[in-house]
A and B are shown apart, each in its own frame.
Chain A
Amino acid sequence: MLHRISVTELSGRLARREVSAREALESCFAQIDRVDPQVKAFLSIDRADALAQAEAADRGLASGEAATRPLLGVPIALKDVLCHRGQPVGCASKILEGFISPYDGTVVEKLKAAGAVLFGRLNMDEFAMGSSTENSAYWTSLNPWDTTRIPGGSSGGCAAAVAANEAFATIGSDTGGSIRQPAALCGCVGVKPTYGRVSRYGLVAFASSLDQIGPFTKTVGDAALLLETISGHDRRDSTSLEEPVPRYRDFLGATSLKGLRIGVVKEFQIGGLDPEVEASVAAAVKHLESLGAEIREVSLPHSDYAAATYYILAPAEASANLARFDGVRYGRRVEGPDPFELNSRTRGAGFGPEVKRRVILGTYVLSSGYYDAYYLRAQKVRTLISNDFNKAFGEVDAILSPTAPTPAFRVGEKASDPLQMYLSDIFTISCNLAGICGLSVPCGFTSSPKLPVGMQLLGPALGEGTLLKIAHAYEQSTPWHRDVAPLG
């Protein structure tokens, strides 16, 4: 059952030479062969390349490099949005079919430097636009807890692969909840770092003022290890923060949360919350209180406007970012008599319905005559949402909520109504608008069917350490992370 252990445990065993990097990778491949025909988390895997990396890692392990390379030999899989030199990057879109990355993104460089064996392209909603992977141009990934249900999105493949123990950890991206929501729905840990904490160089851009890269892991300890590996300033991303990276693992191990104040949001006590999700999160609040945390009510008065703000700003930024897919420099081309027709036909054939919807919406809200009414107004409401958080974080150290209003929904349940799909992100979206950090950690299960429930912890900018401290104390005193999915 090698494939089921955590990154932290695996790296220890690798360093002690109790297991080889090749064996670790082959345990992933065996599990993928067993369950991925059902889970469908991976779009592709270059096994020969991964095996070559594992063999190089084994040589490094033999010469004692594990002391300085904490992930040496650990297999980690990547969302199909991160550039990995020599490997395809497609954003699960037909328009990038056949694209091979000519360079490594910064996160990939950092993971390689730490010794990770990087493999696979994980499924996602096309260009990270969606909450279920149903917008992938290839197929819908399925939830390892119940394969009639979606794994969440957009990083659904990342979450499903970790829950199915097909990879020891995965790396995804979060623009409005795309790490935290699938982590919650699949029962793993997912971290959306503070905006600028992790370099976006080599991440295909969706909404540049909101996008962040972060880890999916089986445990909070693994999340701390991966976060400290991928964080840090990068001169190739001018929005990355010039702030030192703490050793996030030093925040782990507290058994008491005395002195910490955790906020519950008055405006989040809304209708429409699944009763079992509500009960699990309420029990988690009680549990954190029993660990010594002080629970306080806080107010985020503009919460109700976060989704509307997001669905103006994110499509606006996407419409600009996706202008690069023009059929000229890379990707698919549909010929036309002139450049305009070539561009339009290429994009008409290459983008799926959700991408078209958002690019057209974004074009509209930025167009002459509508800019002030939509885009500028949304930017002002974004300020108000950010101010709400600043005020709340004057009163509490972290804010707790459900990560998603419901457990994993059925394939097709929301696919026909884009607006309903958008509203499944109500608890996660405001974090990206404010640029603060958040994570999701398992906090229970529904009874029948048994589906994971996740709670979200939000912290102020660069407050990841405190969130990891709370999440770790919670995880270590609850049983949820020990349960394995039926396809795990």
Chain B
Amino acid sequence: MSDFNIQYVARLARIALTPEEEQRLGDQLGNILGYIAKLREVDVSGVEPMSHAFPLANVMRPDEAGESLTQDEALQNAPSRSSGLFVVPNIVE
């Protein structure tokens, strides 16, 4: 677990942490990773991974327009909006 780098993973997760949070979360996650490492004891050779409780099949429907939110409803919770769009900082200068 020595290779768990809290700063690197928090960056991947897009979560800004304070130095105190880095310290505390790093310690706690070290404990948790130590616990979950017990799965290494299990012999999983030849076992298929399970991603869902039941086998999933593709669900298809005709490509027809149905009811949906209006543009105004879809934008009603946006922290910043303009001209029917979400506003974000400049990406390209």
Q: Is the pairing of A and B real?
A: yes
The answer on a CB contact under 8 Å between B14 and A344 is: yes
- A252 close to B (CB within 8 Å): no
Pair A338/B91 contact, Cβ less than 8 Å: yes
Q: Is B65 an interface residue (CB 8 A)?
A: no
Contact (Cβ within 8 A) A363 B54: no
**1/0 per residue B2-36: CB within 8 Å of A?**
00101001111111111001001100110111011
Provide the B34-63 mask, 1 if CB < 8 A to any CB of A, else 0. Answer: 011111111010011111111010010100
A418 within 8 A of B: yes
Instruction: For chain A, give the interface size range.
Output: 35 or more
Quick check: A195 and B53 within 8 Å, CB to CB?
Answer: yes
Q: Interface size bucket, B side?
A: 35 or more
Residue numbers in B under 8 Å from A332 (CB-CB): 79
Asked if B25 contacts A356 (CB within 8 A), the reply is yes
Given known pairs A239-B56, A380-B48, the reply for A333 and B79 (CB within 8 Å) is yes
**Alpha-carbon separation in the docked complex, A21 to B86 (Å):** 42
> Chain A residues near B49 (CB, 8 Å)?
376, 379-380, 382-383
| Inter-subunit contact A360/B69 (CB<8 Å) | no
Cβ of B80: which chain A residues have Cβ within 8 Å of it?
333
Bound CA–CA A239/B52 (angstroms): 9
In the bound assembly, the distance between CA atoms of A113 and B51 in angstroms comes to 34
A351, A359, A360: residue with the most chain B Cβ atoms closer than 10 Å? A360
Residues of chain A lying within 8 A (CB to CB) of residue B91: 338-339
- Docked CA distance A308–B85 (Å): 43
- Cβ-closest chain A residue relative to B28: A418
In the complex, B84 has a CB within 8 A of chain A? no
Does B73 sit within 8 A of A, measured CB to CB?
A: yes
Contact A356 B21 (CB under 8 A): yes
- Nearest chain B CB to A354's CB is how many angstroms away? 10
Q: Which residues of A contact B4 (CB under 8 A)?
A: 364
- The reply to whether the CB of A357 lies closer than 8 angstroms to some CB of chain B is yes
Query: Which A residues, 298 to 328, have Cβ-Cβ distances below 8 Å to chain B?
Result: 302, 304-305, 307-309, 311-312, 319, 323, 326-328
Contact status A340-B25, CB under 8 Å: no
With A348-B16, A383-B50 known, 20 other A-B pairs at CB within 8 A are A102-B74, A209-B51, A235-B59, A241-B54, A329-B86, A330-B77, A342-B89, A344-B15, A351-B15, A357-B32, A359-B15, A360-B6, A360-B9, A361-B32, A377-B44, A379-B51, A380-B44, A383-B47, A418-B32, A419-B28
B residues adjacent to A (C-beta < 8 A): 4, 6, 9-18, 21, 24-25, 28-29, 31-33, 35-42, 44, 47-54, 56, 59, 61, 69, 73-74, 76-80, 86, 88-91
Q: Lowest 10 A-B CB distances belong to which pairs? A: A435-B53, A348-B16, A379-B49, A333-B79, A330-B77, A195-B53, A380-B44, A363-B13, A344-B16, A102-B73
